[in-house]
Each structure stands twice: as C-alpha cells, then as structure tokens.
Amino acid sequence: MKLLLDEMWAPDIAVQLRRRAYDVVAVAERPDLRNQPDGVVFAVAQAEGRCMVTEDVGDYRPLGIAALQEGESHLGLMFTSDRRFPRHDPRTPGRLVTALVELMSQDRTLTNLEHWLA
C-alpha cells in the first residue's frame, strides 16, 4: 500500500515511514501539490497509485463517491480525526506512524474503501 499524506500532516511522518521501507509521501514535501485543491491532490494520488490519508472527510469522501459513481475506482481513503490524532500534541506524529505501520504491515488493500485510522 502506497500512501499520500494530506497537507495537515508533517513531512516528517512520511520520512519516518520511508525509513521503515514504506512508500509514503506527504503533500507538504511536494511543491507541485502544496496549496492545490483537494480534487487535484486526489487525482494525483490515484495517478500514483496511492491511498489518501486525510482528516478532510468533507472534501475527500465526495471525491471518492464521485469516482465510484463515474464507474472509476480509487485506491482508498484513510481518514483520521483531530480528536484521535490531535495535531497540537507532540506525541501525535509517533502515534500516527505506529498506526500506519500496523495497518500497512497487514498488506491490506483499501481500493474503493474508506478506513478510519484508530
């Protein structure tokens, strides 16, 4: 499973996951994606074969639904919440890395699915 971390997540999270041999990039480390509309980011994730990791349910869920309604597929939407992974908490990056490693080590596919990261 390849991941694209939405802009609310620090690039250091992607760096830590790459050190563990996972194919993960962050919007914040990609000049071509920074400040782009969610539709553009979602399209790039699909073109690169990546599952989106985002807190932005309100924008990405409709994008996933629209893809399915148009007869296309998507590589998954992995949702987080500020309640479960509070961005102001310095422990959150480590907790998020742990949760993502646990999920990715299961070698699951999230094609056309939504998953809430716990």
What burial letters (b/e) apply to 74-87, b meaning 16+ CB within 10 Å?
A: bbbbbbbeeeebee
What confidence tens digit (pLDDT) does each residue in 35-54 have? 999 999 999 999 999 999 99
pLDDT given at position 113? 96
For the whole model, what pTM was predicted?
0.95
- Residues 95, 22, 13: CA angle, nearest 5 degrees: 35
**Dmax (CA) of the chain:** 41
pLDDT given at position 34? 95
CATH of 2-116, one of 3.90.1530, 2.60.40, 3.30.160, 3.40.50: 3.40.50
